[in-house]
C-alpha cells in the first residue's frame, strides 16, 4: 500500500476561512433577512484596471492569429513583463536587478508556499506571530514544524510575538533561525517597518547567516516615505533575502493570478557538504520542473499595470481602499475602540472590547451588527484578543458598518 506524507495529518482539516463561512452560513440560514457586511476575507471588490482589461483583449487576439500565437512561455516569465517590473518597481528605488533574478508566478501564495522545496527539512524557521497561515502550514507539510502544542504553537517553529507591548514590531530572535519570514506591510496587523527597523533584520540575517523571506504583497499601499517598498532598499539584502510580490491587491488580480519572486544571484545556502549553492539556480531548476509559466494573457495584463494609464488606474483603486481604511479607522476610534493598522495597509487590527476572545467578539459582530470580520487568533496565538477587518469592501458597506458599530456603542 502506498504511504502518504504523514505531515499532512498534523494539519487541522478545516481552514480558518471555512470555519468562518460555516458560522456565517448558519447565521444567514437562521436570519434570512439580515443584511450582512463582509469585511473578513482579504479579497478585492473593485474591477480590474481598464488598461489591464484592454491588454487582455489584445493578448487574446494575439492568440487567435498564427503569426502572434503563443504556446508554452518561458517558465520564469516573459521578458516584456520582467523588464517592466525592473524598470518601474526597482530602478526608481536605486535597486539593480537582472532579468533572470525575477521569476513570474501565478501569485505569491504559490511561491511563499513552495519555496521550502529547495531547503532542507531540518532548517529552523522563525515567524512573526500573528502571521499569514500559509508560511506555517507549508512548513508543517514539509515536516519542518514539529508537533503542535496545546498553546497553539508548533515546537519546531520559533514564534516572534507582535503585540501591543512591542507596537507589533517583532524583536530579533534569541536563538538563531535558518529562515525568517517577514511580511510588511503586515497581514494581519496592518503594521509596517521603517527602514531602520528592517535594516536591523538584514544586519541580523547577514551576521547569523539566516535567510529572510520577505513578503511584500501589500507594498502598493505604502504612502509614507520612510517605509521601504522592497527589502533590497537595505544594503546587504541581496545576500540574505528573497522577496515575494503580488499583483492581487495592487491591481485586483486575485482572480487573474500573477505575482513574482526575486532571488538575487548573491544569495546562497549550504549543501550538506558545506559548499555554497546559488538559490537562484536551484529555484530555476525547481520551476522548470514543476511550473509551466503564467499565461501569456495574464502577463500582458500585468505588463499594462506599468503603463501611464495603468499606473493611474491602479493608484485610483489603492486610494479607494486606503480611504475606506481611513473611514473605518476613524469610525472605530469614534466608537471608542482601539484599532491598529489601516495606514499604509488595507488591514485594520481591532482590539476586542472588554477582554473578549477573538471568536467571542467575532460572534457578537456577526449576530449584533451583522458584520463579518476575521478572528485574530486564526492568524496565531498572539492574535488572540484581536479581530482583523479589511478595507477591501465597498465604500457604502464600510460607512454602514461603522454606523452600526457606533450606534450600538452609544445605545
Ligand atoms: N502573502 C500575503 C501576506 C497575503 O496576505 C496573501 C493573500 O492574501 C498572499 C501572499 C497571496 O497572494 P496571491 O493572491 O498573490 O497568491
Q: Which tens digits make up the pLDDT trace of 39-68?
A: 998 899 999 999 999 999 999 999 999 999
Does pLDDT of 304 surpass 80? yes
What was the pLDDT predicted at 176? 97
- Ligand 1 centroid vs 16 CA: distance in angstroms? 15
Q: How far apart are CA 339 and CA 333, in angstroms?
A: 7
Q: 188: buried, middle or exposed (CB in 10 Å: 19+, 13-18, 0-12)?
A: buried
| Residue with grid cell 478545516, as numbered in its chain | 14
What was the pLDDT predicted at 409? 61
Residues 6 or more apart in contact with residue 406 via CB below 8 angstroms: 331, 334, 335
- Ligand 1 centroid vs 78 CA: distance in angstroms? 22
If one residue of 15, 48, 104, 217 were mutated to test the ligand 1 pocket, choosing by the most ligand atoms within 8 A of its CB, it would be 217
Does the global pTM surpass 0.85?
yes
Residues paired with 340 in a beta bridge: 349
For residue 183, give the ligand 1 atom closest to its CA. 3
Q: What is the mean pLDDT of residues 248-275?
A: 97
- Ligand 1 centroid vs 246 CA: distance in angstroms? 7
Task: Give the least confident one: 102-116, 205-219, 255-269, 397-411.
Answer: 397-411
For residue 249, give the ligand 1 atom closest to its CA. 14
Cis, bond preceding 188 (omega within 30 deg of 0): yes
Does pLDDT of 13 surpass 80? no
Extract the C-alpha cell encoding 369. 451588527
For residue 246, give the ligand 1 atom closest to its CA. 15
- Ligand 1 centroid vs 108 CA: distance in angstroms? 5
By alpha-carbon position, which residue is closest to atom 5 of ligand 1?
187
- Ligand 1 centroid vs 112 CA: distance in angstroms? 9
Residues 360/348, Cβ–Cβ less than 8 Å: no
For residue 109, give the ligand 1 atom closest to its CA. 16
Does pLDDT of 410 surpass 70? no
Amino acid at each position: 500500500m502506498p504511504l502518504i506524507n504523514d505531515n499532512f495529518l498534523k494539519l487541522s482539516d478545516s481552514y480558518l476561512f471555512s470555519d468562518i463561512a460555516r458560522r456565517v452560513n448558519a447565521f444567514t440560514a437562521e436570519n434570512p433577512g439580515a443584511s450582512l457586511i463582509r469585511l473578513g476575507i482579504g479579497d478585492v471588490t473593485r474591477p480590474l484596471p481598464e488598461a489591464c482589461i484592454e491588454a487582455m483583449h489584445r493578448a487574446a487576439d494575439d492568440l487567435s492569429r498564427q503569426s502572434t500565437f503563443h504556446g508554452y512561455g518561458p517558465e520564469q516569465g516573459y521578458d516584456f513583463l520582467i523588464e517592466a517590473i525592473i524598470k518601474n518597481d526597482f530602478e526608481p528605488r536605486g535597486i539593480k536587478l537582472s532579468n533572470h533574478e525575477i521569476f513570474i508566478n501565478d501569485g505569491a501564495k504559490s511561491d511563499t508556499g513552495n519555496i521550502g522545496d529547495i531547503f532542507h527539512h531540518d532548517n529552523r524557521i522563525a515567524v512573526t506571530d500573528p502571521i499569514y497561515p500559509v508560511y506555517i502550514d507549508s512548513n508543517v507539510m514539509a515536516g519542518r514544524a514539529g508537533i503542535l502544542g496545546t498553546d497553539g504553537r508548533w515546537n519546531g517553529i520559533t514564534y516572534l510575538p507582535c503585540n501591543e507591548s512591542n507596537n507589533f514590531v517583532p524583536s530579533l530572535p534569541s536563538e538563531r533561525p535558518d529562515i525568517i519570514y517577514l511580511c510588511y506591510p503586515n497581514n494581519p496587523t496592518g503594521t509596517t517597518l521603517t527602514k531602520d527597523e528592517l535594516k536591523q533584520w538584514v544586519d541580523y540575517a547577514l551576521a547569523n547567516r539566516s535567510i529572510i523571506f520577505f513578503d511584500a504583497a501589500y507594498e502598493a499601499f505604502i504612502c509614507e516615505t520612510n517605509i521601504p517598498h522592497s527589502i533590497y532598499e537595505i544594503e546587504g539584502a541581496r545576500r540574505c533575502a528573497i522577496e515575494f510580490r503580488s499583483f492581487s491587491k495592487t491591481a485586483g488580480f486575485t482572480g487573474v493570478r500573477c505575482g513574482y519572486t526575486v532571488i538575487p544571484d548573491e544569495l546562497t545556502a549550504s549543501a550538506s557538504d558545506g559548499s555554497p549553492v546559488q538559490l537562484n539556480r536551484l529555484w530555476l531548476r525547481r520551476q522548470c520542473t514543476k511550473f509551466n509559466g503564467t499565461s501569456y494573457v495574464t502577463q500582458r495584463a500585468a505588463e499594462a499595470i506599468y503603463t501611464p494609464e495603468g499606473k493611474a488606474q491602479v493608484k485610483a483603486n489603492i486610494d479607494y481602499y486606503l480611504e475606506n481604511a481611513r473611514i473605518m479607522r476613524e469610525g472605530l476610534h469614534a466608537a471608542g475602540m482601539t484599532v491598529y493598522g489601516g495606514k499604509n495597509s488595507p488591514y485594520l487590527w481591532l482590539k476586542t472590547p472588554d477582554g473578549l476572545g477573538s471568536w467571542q467578539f467575532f460572534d457578537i459582530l456577526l449576530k449584533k451588527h451583522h458584520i463579518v470580520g476575521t478572528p485574530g487568533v486564526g492568524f496565531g496565538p498572539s492574535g488572540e484578543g484581536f479581530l482583523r477587518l479589511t478595507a477591501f469592501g465597498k465604500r457604502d458597506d464600510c460607512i454602514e458598518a461603522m454606523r452600526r458599530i457606533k450606534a450600538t456603542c452609544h445605545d
